[in-house]
Amino acid sequence: MTTILITGATKGLGFETARRLVAAGHTVCAGSRDAERGRRAAEQLGARLVLLDVTDEASVAAAARAVEADGGLDVLVNNAGVEGRRPDGSVVGAAEATAEQARPLFETNVLGVVRVTPAFLPLLQRSSAPVVVNVSSGLASLTRVTVRAAAARYPLRVPPAPVSAHAACQAPVSTGRCGAAAAAVQERQASTASASTSRMSASGSGTQASASACTE
Ligand SMILES: NC(=O)c1ccc[n+]([C@@H]2O[C@H](COP(=O)([O-])OP(=O)(O)OC[C@H]3O[C@@H](n4cnc5c(N)ncnc54)[C@H](OP(=O)(O)O)[C@@H]3O)[C@@H](O)[C@H]2O)c1
């Protein structure tokens, strides 16, 4: 049986991903930074509640201990995320955000992943088919709001004349839109289940598969 931890599973894509994976027969640990919201979501989902605030080292460490005590982990879905909002509720994209607006987003969306992933790697490395899925966003991409090819896809977010820009390091190819995290988990689990045991023993380390789910 596959055990999957989804950070930020109280609502939105995390909740829906959890719902689909529970329906597919997996054991899902629903991550929540709030005990009451988490309890409600886990109950609705038929999932286990794991208290987990991705901005808090102690919370992440406690969550890793709890998941280990419950039997371990096969899949980590780094889904928890926040976005910048204006007072009128509209979203602030990468082209408009100030450094001050971006700072708290980095704390959760970037450093959260940096905190959570290494804390769970020792558990994942004990799995025969470990997977990490990082849910990302086109909204946060400065490349997408500046390169010409992206202008056609994101007409409302680009400046009138596309600016030439070059990425120093390309992100992993995205796997699709909404539902991508669940699909990535299913696909990666299927494709690594048979091969990963031998690769783990050959390499002696490392999580064997990772996937990037860009939800745009
Ligand atoms: N929806 C979209 O169209 C879209 C588009 C592009 C990318 N994405 C990405 O998809 C992911 C989920 O987005 P969403 O739209 O489903 O967002 P959402 O509905 O706002 O849900 C975000 C989830 O993250 C949790 N969260 C926030 N800060 C947290 C923290 N410090 N520790 C733990 N959990 C935390 C929230 O918990 P609380 O209930 O406690 O607030 C909530 O469960 C994000 O990474 C986002 O960047 C979404």
**What pLDDT score does 92 carry?**
87
Question: Given ligand 1 and candidates 79, 139, 174, which is best to mutate, with the most ligand atoms within 8 Å of its CB?
Answer: 79
Phi, psi of 30 (to 5 degrees): -90, 110
CB 181 within 8 A of CB 103: no
- Interval between CA 198 and ligand 1 midpoint (Å): 35
**Selected residue with higher pLDDT from 148 and 199:** 148
Per-residue pLDDT tens for 131-163?
Answer: 999 998 777 666 666 665 555 555 444 444 544
The half-sphere exposure of 44 on its side-chain side, counting CA atoms within 13 A, is 15
pLDDT at 94: 79
Average pLDDT, the chain: 78
Delineate the domains of the chain, giving CATH numbers in brackets.
Answer: 3-140+173-214 (3.40.50.720)
Q: Which atom of ligand 1 is nearest to the CA of 53?
A: 32
Q: Is residue 6 scored above 90 in pLDDT?
A: yes
Other C-beta atoms within 10 Å of 5: how many? 30
The Cα 146–Cα 142 span in angstroms is: 6
Check pLDDT > 80 for residue 69: yes
- In the chain, the percentage of residues whose pLDDT exceeds 70 is 64
CA of 172 to the centre of ligand 1 (A): 20
Q: What is the pLDDT of residue 96?
A: 84
